[in-house]
Amino acid sequence: MKKTLIAAAVMAASGVAFAASNVTLYGVIEEGVVLEKAKHGDTLVKLQSGFDQGSRWGIKGVEDLGNGYAVGFILEQGFNADSGNESVAGKAFSRESFLYLTGDFGRFGFGRTGTLASGAQSNNILTGWALGTGYGLSSWTSAIGTSFSRVDNAVAYQTPSFGGFKISAMYSNGTTGDDAKWSKNNHYYGVGALYNANAIKSSLIFEAVDHKNTADPKEKTSYVINYGLEYNLGQWTPMFAYQWANQDEGKKTHMFGLSAKVAVGGGDALLGARYLFGKDKSLEAGDDKVRSWNVGAAYVYPLSKRTAVKAYAGYGDSSKAWKDTEQVVYNGYQVYFGLRHSF
């Protein structure tokens, strides 16, 4: 009730009429301290916003049109809690700006949103990794793998549920606000299936970005397949994840992850181990074979329904052509302790 009253006051002050009961103001603030050391680098201690869940605020609403139809919107802005700065300079709603229509046909929408396997926003269907797309070097979308985050100019469709199955499709006609003619824009293509029923949650996602709008001739089309499986056993949920990535003159890799979510001491322990092998043809010279592995563990303890403390430790190590890569996600360790509040 407080959320809708606040949203009503904001909208009323700007002279906009709306149905207060259908508009919600919400957000997340996460702040903590990170201790990390990359190979050949200094040990760093820093205050970091959104190490797991990005700090954000947003407004969302739905209007019932009758006959089973409804129109909705999501406007979400990211920010850095330690400085107050916007997370992406120049974007009023950097995380999501999405308008959609729902009905018996499913959901159809367009705007700026996260890709199907981004782990972010309302069209994400990625599964199979307990540590998700947060927690630094343990993120499934960290630099060792291949992923596509948010895209502009997106059109997205999701079918209704058929016995727990949903099919999603997404296209972006210019992933970063490209406004040239079609042949000179970067385009994103994604199609995926999600099953969520009978204690099983699983997804299979195919994505591609054609990198047409680039001056680098090595930027060929990137293809990625992600598969995830989760099985809820009550007190714990084991998970399996796999990624195949292929790009001419880029990464050609396989990545596997085993993880679990376990209820312990009133909170949740998140445990994961990941291994990648393949080739990175974008390297300038020498052997292009790459290997990388990392392990991570986090604990999330709720102080209330909206507030939780988080602790995390992770270690990563790479070999072959990535042996001396001086980035913590390839070679190094991280320790984190923070607080998350949702409203």
How confident is the model over 129-181, as pLDDT tens digits? 999 999 999 999 999 999 999 999 999 999 999 999 999 999 999 878 766 67
Beta bridge partners of 271: 260, 297
CATH code of the domain containing 174? 2.40.160.10
Q: Is the pLDDT of residue 12 over 60?
A: no
Question: pLDDT band at residue 51, thresholds of 50, 70 and 90?
Answer: very high
**Range in 4-8, 68-72, 187-191, 296-300 the model is least confident about:** 4-8
Scored b (16 or more CB within 10 A) or e, 240-273 reads bbebbbbbeebbbbebebbbbbbeeeebbbbbbe
Region of residue 87 (left: phi > 0; alpha: psi -120 to 50; beta: else): alpha
Burial class (CB in 10 A: 0-12, 13-18, 19+), 189: middle
For residue 132, give the amino acid letter: G
Task: Please report, rounded to a whole number, the percentage of residues in the chain having pLDDT higher than 90.
Answer: 81
**Residue bearing tokens 């201790």:** 35
Contacts of 20 (CB under 8 A, 6+ apart): 4, 5, 7, 8
Mean pLDDT of the chain: 91
Distance (Å) of CA 67 to CA 64, 102, 103, 104, 158: 9, 11, 8, 9, 19
Least confident stretch, 5-9, 40-44, 263-267: 5-9
Phi, then psi, of 40 in degrees rounded to 5: 65, 5
- The total domain count for the chain is 1
Q: Are the CB atoms for 136 and 334 separated by under 8 Å?
A: yes
pTM: 0.90
Does residue 91 sit within a domain? Answer: no
> In angstroms, rounded to a whole number, what is the distance separating the alpha carbons of residues 186 and 19?
38
Residue 2 lies in a domain: no
In a domain, 68, yes or no: no
Q: CA 257, CA 259: separation in Å to the nearest integer? A: 6
- pLDDT of 211: 84
Q: Which domain does 247 fall in, by range?
A: 31-53+106-342
How far apart are alpha carbons 272 and 166 in whole angstroms? 27
Q: Give the residue from 118, 134, 137 showing the smallest Cα distance to 294.
A: 137
pLDDT tops 70 at residue 33 = yes
Cα 210 versus chain centre, distance: 20
234-259 mean pLDDT: 96
* Phi and psi angles of residue 197, each rounded to the nearest 5 degrees, phi first: -170, 155
Residue 7 lies in a domain: no
pLDDT score, position 13: 44
Determine contact, residues 102/72, Cβ cutoff 8 Å: yes
38: in domain: yes
- Cα separation, 143 vs 293, in Å, equals 12
Whether 59 is covered by a domain: the verdict is no
- The beta strand positions in 161-221, using DSSP E, are 165-173, 187-197, 200-209
Q: Is the pLDDT of residue 14 over 90?
A: no
pLDDT tens sequence across 324-335: 999 999 999 999
Is position 6 within any domain? no
Q: Is residue 234 part of a domain?
A: yes
pLDDT in tens, 271-293: 999 999 999 988 876 789 999 99
